Structure 1
Amino acid sequence: MTTAEKLRAMEILWADLTRKAESFESPAWHDAVLRERDQRVAEGKEAYVSWEDAKRDLRERCQ
């Protein structure tokens, strides 16, 4: 598979998983990671990027 095909497959899988989000629980480590990232954003050390921008950037890098 090409990188673009792999990314498209991941998008399809993610769309399916998010339709059924209430049927599974996030792992315990996930909360800690999110809190750490929120703290880094509050400190100005990181910034959030929209999902659409992130996908566009990935696609541009893979071409």
Structure 2
Amino acid sequence: MNAVALTNMSLEEKLATMEQIWDDLCQHQNVQSPDWHQGVLQTREKNRLAGQEQPMDWQEAKKAIQNRTQ
């Protein structure tokens, strides 16, 4: 796939492609997170404990993303 093919895809097609890529990546057990990711996770956990953020089920999150893109 090249940049032209991506440009011609609808938003829904791009999101579906990204989901397929993530599903494939999840099959690989030795993928390392980047160093900055730990800081983001710590900030989110701090916000969650302070009541500023609430966790969301992955299925609910996907629906929320789909609703925002329609």
Unaligned runs of at least 5 residues, structure 1: none
Q: Distance in 1 between matches of 2:69 and 2:40?
A: 27
> TM-score if structure 1 supplies the norm length?
0.89
1:51 lines up with 2:33 in the alignment = no
Aligned-partner residue type, residue 37 of structure 1 = R
> TM-score if structure 2 supplies the norm length?
0.81
Unaligned runs of at least 5 residues, structure 2: 1-8
Q: Deviations over 1:21-62 (max 9, x none)?
A: x22211111111101100000000111111101111111222
Instruction: Say which of 19, 27, 33 aligns to 1:11.
Output: 19
Say which SS state the counterpart of residue 65 (structure 2) adopts: helix
- 2:43 paired residue number: 36
Aligned-partner residue type, residue 17 of structure 1 = L
Q: Distance in 2 between matches of 1:32 and 1:14?
A: 21
Say which SS state the counterpart of residue 23 (structure 1) adopts: coil
Two-structure CA RMSD over aligned residues (Å): 1.0
